[in-house]
Amino acid sequence: MIRFLERHRFRWDVAIFVLTVVSAIEIPLELVLGVSLDRKAYVFEILTAALFSADILLRLLYPERTDARQPKDPRLLRLNYLKGRFLMDLSAALPWTLLVGPVVYRPDGMPDLLTWHSLDLLSLFRLLRVFDFTRKVENRASVNPSLMRLFVQLFWVALAAHWFACGWYYLQGDATPGKQAENFLKAFYWVSTTITTIGYGDITPKTNVQILYTICVQVMGAGFYGFLIGNMASLLANLDITRTRFREKMDQISAFITHYRLPDNLQTSIRRYYTHLWEVKRGQDDVEVLHDLPQLLKTEVQLFLNRPIVEKVPFLKDASEKLIRDIVLNLTPRVAIPGEIIFRQGDSGAEVFFISRGSVEVLSGDGKQVFAQFGEGNFFGEIALLLDTPRTATIRATDYCDLYFITKTTFDAIISDEPEFTARLRQIALERQKINQDRGL
Ligand code: CMP
């Protein structure tokens, strides 16, 4: 049962959230329109009350820990709930519309709000669930927190506008049958022009109460609206923070290029390099991003990101799981641009490289002969490491390359307990070396 609930609890929360929103719109509206319940509305009221009561029961039976500061013990969680939100949730769950008695009408045909009937508004405590729900959604993967905040703010402003409109409709006191929808639309129009401080002045307050109400809506609305617009600007800028940061970096580089009047071909190479970085890694430095993570999470992320690189290497197909894991965890990225010499023949060798994307050519020391072309899934640089010689060839990138390397010390440590693998690798190294020797190099 618990497992079933865990799996479906989010769906349940979504349903309760939708119901909450419907209640928040419908309850004030019904109140000011003075609607008496018909059979359908009756059923809806009972159903909603039943679902909210079931939600309370669920919270009591299977309390959820939504915050790291909350106790782990379910009994303590339950006690906290009972001491805190329980009463509010309970009053929100009751079918007030059915309990509070019929609507009492004033002589002008409008409902009288100064009666028990207005207790119906207690159901608005249901809105507390919006906070629970948004917190849960924020903690879920694949939700952009900035976008989420923007939606939440828009939601509250739209809801407040609806409530203000209900209030204005009521204060207008026009209960002419058949004109309710039109009057409400006008009320909503009045609210939207007032809170956005446009105020065309076509609908103006007449009575003292209306003037006071208008002042309140103006002050609150202007505050809300200003807050929303201000936040919207910064949220939109933050929505794609990586892109913004990358653009800033590009601006900085453009300023640098212009200041030093770099030659055209160099400018193009620099720009292309950054475009490549953006396309491949969204301009992020993986090492920097992962830096703050605890070791365990860092390892898991590295395994997830680097495993496909290793899986591309046919030579590692039959390698043991431990060896693959060790390699995956020790790969360091390096990007090479077309024409870049990764190392030269005769250099001392300190790393073995794997090609994740792009291609390189293996050249003779003078660069005149091409021994081989390597692409995705190939590796190079093993001869110097295994046979303790200087580099036997020069390696030049022929394309934008995403390379990953392992340093000699780490590589030695990794292969030390893999005699079979080392022998196979040694075999390849010797074969490649022999080809070069046969060529008289
Ligand atoms: P290393 O000698 O460390 O550095 C140059 C690398 O080029 C070498 O390791 C091999 O990985 C690779 N290499 C050298 N000669 C050949 C060849 N003839 N065929 C394929 N690869 C080679």
Q: How many domains does the chain have?
A: 3
17 — phi, psi (to 5°)?
-65, -45
Would the pTM of this model clear 0.85, i.e. be above it? Answer: no
301/413 same-domain check:
yes
Ligand 1 pocket, mutate which of 351, 353, 359, 380 (most atoms under 8 A from CB): 380
81/106 same-domain check:
yes
DSSP string, 392-427: SSEEEESS-EEEEEEEHHHHHHHHTT-HHHHHHHHH
Residue at a domain's end among 112, 140, 168? 140
Q: What is the CATH number of the domain that holds 337?
A: 2.60.120.10
81 Cβ below 6 A of ligand 1: no
Residue 152: inside a domain:
no
Q: What is the CATH number of the domain that holds 260?
A: 1.10.287.630
342 Cβ below 6 A of ligand 1: no
Residue 227: inside a domain:
no
Residue bearing the CA closest to ligand 1, atom 6: 381
Ligand 1 pocket, mutate which of 371, 406, 434 (most atoms under 8 A from CB): 371
406 — phi, psi (to 5°)?
-125, 135
404 — phi, psi (to 5°)?
-130, 135
327/251 same-domain check:
no
Are 52 and 126 in contact, with CB atoms under 8 Å apart?
yes
Q: 2 to each of 9, 203, 439, how far by Cα in Å?
A: 10, 56, 71
Q: 267 to each of 19, 247, 259, how far by Cα in Å?
A: 58, 16, 12
256/357 same-domain check:
no
120 Cβ below 6 A of ligand 1: no
**Residue 254 C-alpha from the chain's centroid:** 30
257/351 same-domain check:
no
pLDDT tens, residue order, the chain (441 aa): 666 766 788 899 999 999 999 999 999 998 898 887 778 888 988 999 999 999 999 999 888 877 777 888 889 989 999 998 999 999 999 988 888 878 888 888 888 888 888 888 888 998 998 988 888 887 776 677 778 888 888 899 999 999 999 999 999 998 888 899 999 999 999 999 999 888 888 999 999 999 999 999 999 988 888 888 888 888 777 777 888 888 888 999 999 999 999 999 899 889 888 888 888 877 777 777 788 889 889 888 888 988 888 888 888 888 888 999 999 989 998 999 999 999 999 999 999 999 999 999 999 888 888 999 999 999 999 999 988 999 999 999 999 999 999 999 999 999 998 899 899 999 999 999 888 888 766
Q: Which domain holds residue 264?
A: 241-284
Residue bearing the CA closest to ligand 1, atom 17: 432
Torsion over CA: 332, 337, 338, 341 (sign) = negative
271/335 same-domain check:
no
205 Cβ below 6 A of ligand 1: no
